[in-house]
Amino acid sequence: DQQVKQNSPSLSVQEGRISILNCDYTNSMFDYFLWYKKYPAEGPTFLISISSIKDKNEDGRFTVFLNKSAKHLSLHIVPSQPGDSAVYFCAASGGGGSTLGRLYFGRGTQLTVWP
């Protein structure tokens, strides 16, 4: 049962435009959300996170928005650059008890930024 869902396996965006990657979750106990970026033949690297007490977090060109009522978060990249082409994973943690600290991942979205 997938608790974190990324329904778009791929996204193609022109350089300079905005990239919007979406993520939905089902577990209302999740209280911390993260985005990871993965290049081929490398491990995932942390990109940005947001706590459930916030609805927005920015870091340079990257902004994550959280809508708790809809159990939805999104990652905005503005402006998109060719070097942003990678697989982006959404992840969530929380839930309490023995699962605290464990990350639940979506299936990833392949972002391609073309010149």
Partner 1 sequence: DAEITQSPRHKITETGRQVTLACHQTWNHNNMFWYRQDLGHGLRLIHYSYGVQDTNKGEVSDGYSVSRSNTEDLPLTLESAASSQTSVYFCASSLDQGANTEAFFGQGTRLTVV
Q: Which residues bind partner 1 (CB under 8 A)?
A: 6, 31-32, 34, 36, 41-46, 49, 51, 89, 93-94, 98, 100-108
Q: Which is nearer to partner 1, 32 or 65 (CB)?
A: 32
In angstroms, what is the minimal distance from the CB of 61 to partner 1? 19
Give the C-alpha distances (Å, rounded to integers) separating 36 from 89, 109, 115: 5, 11, 23
Token pair, residue 102, equals: 């464990």
Q: Which is nearer to partner 1, 19 or 93 (CB)?
A: 93
- Quick one: 69 exposed, middle or buried, by C-beta within 10 A (0-12, 13-18, 19+)? exposed
In angstroms, what is the minimal distance from the CB of 16 to partner 1? 29
Q: Which is nearer to partner 1, 15 or 112 (CB)?
A: 112
In angstroms, what is the minimal distance from the CB of 60 to partner 1? 17
Q: What is the rounded distance in angstroms from the CA atom of residue 88 to the CA atom of residue 34?
A: 10
In angstroms, what is the minimal distance from the CB of 28 to partner 1? 16
On whether the CB atoms of residues 60 and 4 are closer than 8 A, the answer is: no
